[in-house]
Structure 1
Amino acid sequence: MDGLTISWIGALAGLAIAIILILRKLNPVYALFLGAIVGALIGGANLEQTVSVLVSGTQSVMGTVLRVLAAGVLAGVMMESGAAETIAQAIVRKFGGSRAILALALATMIITAVGVFIPVAVLIVAPIALSVGNKMGISKMALLLALSGGGKAGNIISPNPNTIAAARGFDLDLSNVMLAGLIPAVCGLIVTVIVASLLKNKGVKVADGEVEENNTDASKYPPLGKAIVAPLVAVVLLMMNPIGSLSGIEALAKFKVDAMYILPIAGIVGMLAMGQAKNILQYTSSGLNKMTATVLILIGAGGIAGLISASDLSTQVVSLIEASGISGTFLAPIAGILMAAATASTSTGVILATGSFGQAILDMGTAPLAAAVMVHTGATVIDSLPQGNYFHVTADSMKMSIKQRLGLVPYEAMVGGTMAIVATLIYGFLL
């Protein structure tokens, strides 16, 4: 772009315009593109340079897009075959009613961790949560916190778009980022269970009429042993390289196969194990359809990330941090928090944070893996705001009003904040 540097004012203006347009219900992709265009023009670019900014930004996310599309095979198999429902039901049955909140949080965590999108994971477990909540007298607020907090914990150790974006943003293997998020994820799960347990008598309870009758024929679902094949294959293949590196086993350490290959292979192996080979076209088409909206948003995010990257915003933020006297290590989680809050999306927030502040974070002396984990966990803090679809999908799943759902956001921030703090302490200061 011939050394073009856009004013940080234009970058902030473009981001603000995109947020306002999303809140005004404009399609998020168009909102992000329009924000990027107007922001570039305000920041001093001409029409030709503005096009170059958008093209450069969208090109930067193509590696992430390819891997997200590949992940659609695994996601389609898990959702369409009923494997995700089988795993969720098994966990809730195993723990029983007395540990309902733990069971619900763990079920959503595992469903998300095996490659199901967090909104879909909540939708899968929500009918079970409503039934359990009605029987046990647990409030909707506690129930949804269990689902959302568990989903957030699972999301940072999953082969989902947000984790792929964190890995690609710092040129890392997906498996390394997933493994590095394990301790923060466990801490997030613990905080979820504690806080949700304290909230179980706060707010409205589940009415009898809100419990869905379960008329699903359970025999149509695969048995648990077959349902876990796909995620198990994915986890084993993804973890071979990091385990080999940690254990010193050279043969495993040399196993470097990209997630773009591993995730579809795992989905196909799982489908064969469940005897569903005849449904390969249906499952893969469904997975692709479910990924399409995410891919489009990622491309839109790439456009506005190009704007921010071409601006001096990161330089201004770094100068502000240095002037305040706080450690530069905090730039990584702060970038994740702010970008995800702006877009109300974990994956979009990670794309913006890595694309806009990635180099500045590394220039602060932060190692790539530490940067990825801190940005990633930071993006889970306040990513469930009303301008995003996750807010509304989860509210509908638990039959909550907008006001009731808004009341849950601070508690979700406690879960995400815990994971970000733990990640920052471990990777920013201890390692």
Structure 2
Amino acid sequence: MDFTISWIGALIGLGIAIVLILRKLNPVYALFLGAIVGALIGGANLEQTINVLVSGTQSVMGTVIRVLAAGVLAGVMMESGAAETIAQAIVKKFGGGKAILALALATMIITAVGVFIPVAVLIVAPIALSVGNKMGISKIALLLALSGGGKAGNIISPNPNTIAAARGFNLDLSHVMLAGIIPAICGLIVTVIIASMLKNKGVMVSNEEAVDNNKADTSNYPTLGKAIVAPVVAIILLMINPIGSLSGIEALAKFKVDAMYILPIAGIVGMLAMGQGKKILQYTTSGINKMTATVLILIGAGGIAGLISASDLSTQVVSLIEASGISGTFLAPISGILMAAATASTSTGVILATGSFGQAILNMGTAPLAAAVMVHTGATVIDSLPQGNYFHVTADSMKMSIKQRMGLIPYEAIVGGTMTIVATLIYGFLF
């Protein structure tokens, strides 16, 4: 595009989109409308505005394709009961004495193997309510264990947010997943520590709530050995290239198969291992249905990202950072934090941050992998605000009021902030 939109128009467009989302307008329409109004206010004509939208949505198509492919693995893990089998096995293994660690680890692992974080929380929530009732653990501690564990798993998963971070900086998905391991472990540790400190504070789980959430029939769920086949296959295939690169084994390093192929293959192999080959249509249909809402939001995010990319907003932000005297490295985590907070979504926040500030981040000397990890972890800090669905889904899963759920946000920010600080220290300054 041979024109530049005023940064004021970009900010107004983003602000309009946020307000409309808060007013309960469909996020896709809110993002598109914000992009259109912002472009027009910023000096674009009607034709240029369409070009901005088309360019922005085209930029996310690579991510969209991979997210749809990931739906096969997600559908298999959720519909077969494999994810719940894994969660129950982890909690049972650790026992009641380490309940908070078990719940956080279970949610982390389920999210890490490709299940959306809201779904992972929904899967583990009934177990958490039962354990919390027996052990006398408060709801806020239980949900922090689930949410914090989910955040940790989310930055090392083949989920839409990680795919978006990888595609935003033209990296292999496996490299971004692998780079998030240390921040994820730190996030898990902080989650367990804070949740343990909160276990006697707030509202406790009633007997009725514990009973109501334990009615699921698990008799047809797969055994643990069969349940882990799909995620194990996915992890092995995704890690072949990074392991080859690190070890110097050329044959492995040349294995460059995109996640678009690996994730569906892993899902189908897992389905066959569980003896559910006849349900391939059911599982894949469920998977793509669960991905549809995310894909639409990603397209909407592409529209607003196109607006910001066509503006001089990133130039203004870079100038502000330089004038303040702080390191340009901080642009990556700051952009992730702000964009995810604006949209109350990790994946949408990553799309906006990479699409709007990606080139500016790289121009300041930050390596692509470091940029991806810092943006990605930054997007987990305050992404659970009330304008997003994650806030409400998790509140309902633990039978919490809006006020009670609001009280959890600062603790979730500590978990996300810890992962961001660790990622920034490691990739922004040490390497």
Same fold (TM over 0.5): yes
Equivalent residue pairs, number: 430
- C-alpha offsets along residues 11-67 of structure 1, whole Å, 9 cap, x if unaligned? 000000000000000000000000000000110101110000000000000000000
The 1:213–1:365 alpha-carbon spacing in structure 2 relative to 1, beyond 3 Å, is closer
Matches within 5 A, 1:24-35: 24-35=23-34
Distance 1:111 1:418 in 2: 21
- CA contact under 8 A between 1:169 and 1:354: conserved in structure 2? yes
Distance 2:429 2:274 in 1: 45
Distance 1:314 1:209 in 2: 52
- C-alpha offsets along residues 288-334 of structure 1, whole Å, 9 cap, x if unaligned? 00000000000000000000000000000000000000000000000
- C-alpha offsets along residues 369-428 of structure 1, whole Å, 9 cap, x if unaligned? 000000000000000000000000000000001010000000000000000000000000
- C-alpha offsets along residues 119-176 of structure 1, whole Å, 9 cap, x if unaligned? 0000000000001111111010000000000000000000000000000000000000
- CA contact under 8 A between 1:185 and 1:419: conserved in structure 2? yes
How big is the alpha-carbon RMSD for the aligned residues of Structure 1 and Structure 2?
A: 0.6
Q: Which residue of 2 aligns with 1:362?
A: 362
Q: 1:215 Cα shift? A: 3.4
Distance 2:205 2:219 in 1: 28
Q: 1:217 Cα shift? A: 3.3
- CA contact under 8 A between 2:77 and 2:83: conserved in structure 1? yes
State the secondary structure of the residue aligned to 1:202: coil
- CA contact under 8 A between 1:385 and 1:391: conserved in structure 2? yes
Q: 1:238 Cα shift? A: 0.2
Distance 1:12 1:113 in 2: 34
Return 5+ residue gaps in structure 1 as ranges. none
Distance 1:412 1:298 in 2: 24
Distance 2:137 2:218 in 1: 26
Q: 1:207 Cα shift? A: 1.1
Q: 1:110 Cα shift? A: 0.2
Distance 2:327 2:76 in 1: 44
Q: 1:209 Cα shift? A: 1.4
- CA contact under 8 A between 1:309 and 1:356: conserved in structure 2? yes
Q: 1:208 Cα shift? A: 1.2
State the secondary structure of the residue aligned to 1:219: coil
- CA contact under 8 A between 1:177 and 1:372: conserved in structure 2? yes
Q: Which residue of 2 aligns with 1:196?
A: 195
- CA contact under 8 A between 1:58 and 1:300: conserved in structure 2? yes
Q: 1:194 Cα shift? A: 0.1
Distance 2:213 2:236 in 1: 37
Distance 1:396 1:80 in 2: 21
Distance 1:200 1:93 in 2: 19
Q: Which residue of 2 aligns with 1:13?
A: 12
Distance 1:214 1:187 in 2: 31
State the secondary structure of the residue aligned to 1:218: coil
- CA contact under 8 A between 2:129 and 2:213: conserved in structure 1? no
Q: 1:236 Cα shift? A: 0.2
- C-alpha offsets along residues 70-106 of structure 1, whole Å, 9 cap, x if unaligned? 0000000000000000000000000000000000000
The 1:213–1:48 alpha-carbon spacing in structure 2 relative to 1, beyond 3 Å, is closer
Distance 2:233 2:37 in 1: 46
Distance 1:23 1:299 in 2: 19
State the secondary structure of the residue aligned to 2:212: coil
Q: 1:219 Cα shift? A: 2.5
- CA contact under 8 A between 2:72 and 2:264: conserved in structure 1? yes
State the secondary structure of the residue aligned to 2:199: coil
- C-alpha offsets along residues 334-389 of structure 1, whole Å, 9 cap, x if unaligned? 00000000000000000000000000000000000000000000000000000000
Q: 1:250 Cα shift? A: 0.9
Distance 2:219 2:124 in 1: 18
State the identity as a percent.
90
Q: Runs of at least 4 residues of structure 1 off by over 6 A?
A: none
Distance 2:203 2:426 in 1: 38
- CA contact under 8 A between 1:131 and 1:212: conserved in structure 2? no
Distance 1:170 1:196 in 2: 34
State the secondary structure of the residue aligned to 1:26: coil
Distance 1:22 1:278 in 2: 41
- CA contact under 8 A between 1:337 and 1:380: conserved in structure 2? yes
Q: 1:212 Cα shift? A: 2.2
Q: 1:213 Cα shift? A: 5.1
Distance 1:426 1:218 in 2: 42
- CA contact under 8 A between 2:85 and 2:223: conserved in structure 1? yes
- CA contact under 8 A between 1:138 and 1:205: conserved in structure 2? yes
Q: Which residue of 1 aligns with 2:157?
A: 158
Distance 2:122 2:38 in 1: 36
TM-score after normalising by structure 1 = 0.99
